[in-house]
Structure 1
């Protein structure tokens, strides 16, 4: 892209060809009001709040859709623009029930912020009497159509980020609402509960059941960490207040998934965790686990661990530190340590791929894994690639959720057909998992043009492999030590 020069509010700024006026302004630190704009989805210029004046162009222009050109002179703050934006806001408040004092997102609402910015303290028009439905059929969030401004962020997020295409507009004019699957309640729809629509909503239309009224943005703590639900490694931001977890959000600017999460990463830790937390040592007496002191627990453990006859099993839900500690202990006891469950097969000589390769691929081959069940975000990224023209090929002998989105479904005996498909592609990617058979693996090894991404069965399966922890044969021995991490048992 070539460099262009613009003048915005009397200041010369530099941008790149292909950028919009809004993008150039934001990169230069110029704040233009927006409501329907979100950096992760395409722009449509629907809210009309980003209107700007461009010299030698007739009328106002929407900054989010108007291409910036060299020599352009732009005005973002004029009395006429302020008046027009104020009128637009008045009409938005008029259309629905936007009583801020009763809204759960009051203080965290972009519409409310814009109203204060434009000095709106009363309505010019009487609010219509028609009330909209409140859809509370979804487990994790509520859709209140009375708070919706029809910005369509949620629709674009569902289409462009998640590639699920659940949401669309229904009805016309003042009766327009956001609809799920052409009129179904959210709870009966194809919604996958990824929560992306919830995070992009600028008002109180989509609200999280758990964190509502939990605290305003300036009252909460935010901690960026890595999701441990699977091996993808999505970056998450844990929002808490007063030592209470409120919600989990995606981090838009973070690799590898740029804010895209799944139901396991966003909601499961907060809603679906039903296990009793182990807060101290326990020993089994008369067939039951009872509380014990550390000395008692260690004495029982020591009596059960016999030198040279120790077998320990661990899962991929453990950290490298815990796995390393277990391995060191087993080495000192001359024992064995192995993994509990399946492991990723080794495909020697293939080109390693990355998560970011999946949405850019023009061919995605899925073999030995069901990403929409085990690594959901990768499944969404594969569907996004399909929306951009990619073909999906599923190699599976049983049931696979990805099969209904596949262009080609093959069984193990037909795996050799992937050779021709890869030869026709420019950016082929192979997603494979622990269920990969030796027959299919032999065919995939010959796909030198493709990039391979192995989906580990545990969050830290890669760490286990690097430490040399693999399946072991007990040969009649009984495992005496288990390191389960966060696995449910």
Structure 2
């Protein structure tokens, strides 16, 4: 990358070709005030606080949008510039109603900090005192237009980081406001509650109801950790004051994982069921009664003695590796049982079997690429998955690829189009016919010369010889023209991705996974040993649990005794139905839930924010929770 040299405030400064003047200043430790600039967002030069003087330019220019070039002579701190900046601040304060003594952001406000910096103890212009509304309909967020400085950071975060495009500017001139959709209240809009706008706001114009007046940033301890609520494993900065949670943020707004989802940012702050704070045992009247840990252990020992070592174990994949290892040791050594599974173990067994069918080499989860690569795709096929629900940040990466990289989006789902506003084509096959559909797409790709058959497994090539597209159309209830269009879109792409998930894997058909991998292989969508096909993992430690050998499977359809380490993961209806056939049930959980009320013995468990330990995310990276 070409290096350039500038003269800033009489000193030589180094930068890179393509940098702005502001970026060069920041890289060389030269402070230039900003309001509308934020790392990770595009620059628009809206606030004019960063104006600088450039030799041979007639007037001051915004440093955030002015391209740096070799030999440029820049001044950032002249008396003239300081007067400009003070004047700009005064005008900003007069435009809306900024009353710092009542503002939630007081002490953390960038506008307030600049007012102190420029000793703005009076304003020379008349205040307009506009009558502006406060949008507080949302259960999570508030937009107070009185505190808005129209910097546009929230609008850019919504489109560039979250790829939601919910926030925009409405009206014009002095009436301009930040609005959701077509001036709808935020709580009734398309907002997905990722909270990127809250983190981007430099004032108190957009804030979280859960963090209101809980403390300034300087009063809080900041803990860097990992979110365990899905397989993505987003990095979090958690602000804590007096051992109470204040807010959760992303480490920054730049990077593929900079967007959080509602659960990652607000989940711990939302109302929850009552916590389980002591062991419980089923009393003589059939009610759960509080007891000591020793009493609970005694009941467990007596009941397990009667079942003669037939204890099975099931564990959440949100649990850190250290706890999973202890659970594994307890089950295999103390309980002498190999009947153990994770809540998502069936998915792993289906994925592993499919990979073995594809290349006959172990489980091979390292065949999958990192999720960051999704953002660079020019075509994405979502098969039997709902990323927006199960792994929302993956959904955001897909939306960014579509809106920013102009990627084509194909959805194969038997029930609904999971990206109704973004998909180019939705194929709705009959339930259970996804495998037939994928085989049909592969056959079309080969017939049209859009694929290389030698890159597929011999077993797969043989299976396609009997494939007839008209039969595929009949079996899936999808017109032949749609099948051919989908194959052409996928086959003509240079960097196509396939993303598949629980809806597809719940069929337990490993051959469908093998077909997906063969599709990626024959179209050249691979980099070295990694194919551009990703399976969505439900838990932050799904891969870690699977690697520890916890997904062996429960040996009986209905075990006589079961130890369910649920933690803070909510149980599914399918799990509850299955638990009804268990004779003796031990549940270790954080909150009261239907599974807890079915248990014979209940043990308390910490929530994820109270744990420390290691996780392996869906990319196979070791992560540490603190």
Q: TM-score under structure 1 normalisation?
A: 0.95
Aligned CA distance change for structure 1 residues 475 and 192 (closer, same or farther; 3 Å): closer
Query: Relative contact order, CA 8 A, sep 6+: which one is greater?
Result: 2
Residue equivalent to 2:318: 317
Q: Greater helix percent: which structure?
A: 2
Q: Secondary structure at the match of 2:218?
A: helix
Residue 269 (structure 2) pairs with residue 267 (structure 1): no
> 1:82: how far off?
0.8
Equivalent position of 1:385 in the other structure: 401
Kindly indicate whether residue 330 of structure 2 is the aligned counterpart of residue 343 of structure 1.
no
- Match of residue 437 from structure 2: 414
Counterpart residue number, 1:252: 252
SS of the equivalent of 1:49 reads: coil
Aligned equivalents of 1:61, 1:298: Cα separation in 2: 73
Question: How far does residue 253 in structure 1 lie from its aligned partner after superposition?
Answer: 7.1
Q: Which moved more, 1:126-135 or 1:45-54?
A: 126-135
Q: 2:604 — aligned with what?
A: none
The aligned runs of 1:8-27 (5 Å cut-off) are: 8-27=8-27
Q: 2:277 aligns with which of 276, 279, 282?
A: 279
Please say if 1:472 is aligned against 2:554.
yes
What's the CA shift string for 1:319-347, capped at 9, x where partnerless?
22222222212212232112235424224
Q: CA deviation at 1:476?
A: 4.3
Write the distance in 1 (CA, Å) between the matches of 2:323 and 2:299. Answer: 21
Helix, strand or coil: the match of 2:248? strand
**Secondary structure of the equivalent of 1:480?**
strand
Inter-CA distance 476–141: structure 2 relative to 1 (3 Å threshold): closer
Counterpart position of 1:70: 70
Post-superposition shift, 1:256? Answer: 5.6
Residues 98 and 224 of structure 1: CA distance in aligned 2, closer, same or farther (over 3 Å):
same
2:516 to 440, 444, 450: 444
**Would the aligned equivalents of 1:370 and 1:400 in 2 still touch at CA under 8 Å?**
no
Of stretches 442-451 and 156-165 in structure 1, the one that deviates more from structure 2 is: 442-451
Residue 147 (structure 1) shift: 0.4
RMSD (Å) for aligned C-alpha atoms:
1.8
- Structure 1 stretches lacking a partner, 5+ long: none
Q: Is the 8 A contact 1:395 1:409 kept in 2?
A: yes
Q: Does the alignment pair 1:289 with 2:312?
A: no
Question: Could you tell me how far apart the structure 2 residues matched to 1:463 and 1:424 are?
Answer: 36
Deviation at 1:307, TM superposition (A): 4.2
Number of the residue aligned with 1:373: 389
Quick one: structure 1 residues 164 and 254, their matched pair in 2 at CA, closer, same or farther if it must change by over 3 Å? Answer: closer
- Aligned residue in 1 for 2:331: 330
- Report the equivalent of 2:541: 460
How far apart are 1:455 and its partner, in Å? 1.3
Distance in 1 of aligned mates of 2:503 and 2:422: 20
What is the count of residue pairs matched by the alignment?
Answer: 487
Q: Structure 1 residue 192: deviation in Å?
A: 0.6
On the 8 A contact 1:235/1:255 being kept in 2, the answer is no
What secondary structure does 1:463 align onto? helix
Post-superposition Cα deviations, 1:248-276, rounded to whole Å, max 9, x if no partner, equal 0111178760x31010100111114x222
Whether contact under 8 Å (1:343, 1:461) holds in the other structure is no
Q: 1:94–1:7: structure 2 CA closer, same or farther, 3 Å change rule?
A: same
* 3-state secondary structure, aligned to 1:269: coil
Correspondence for 1:428: 496
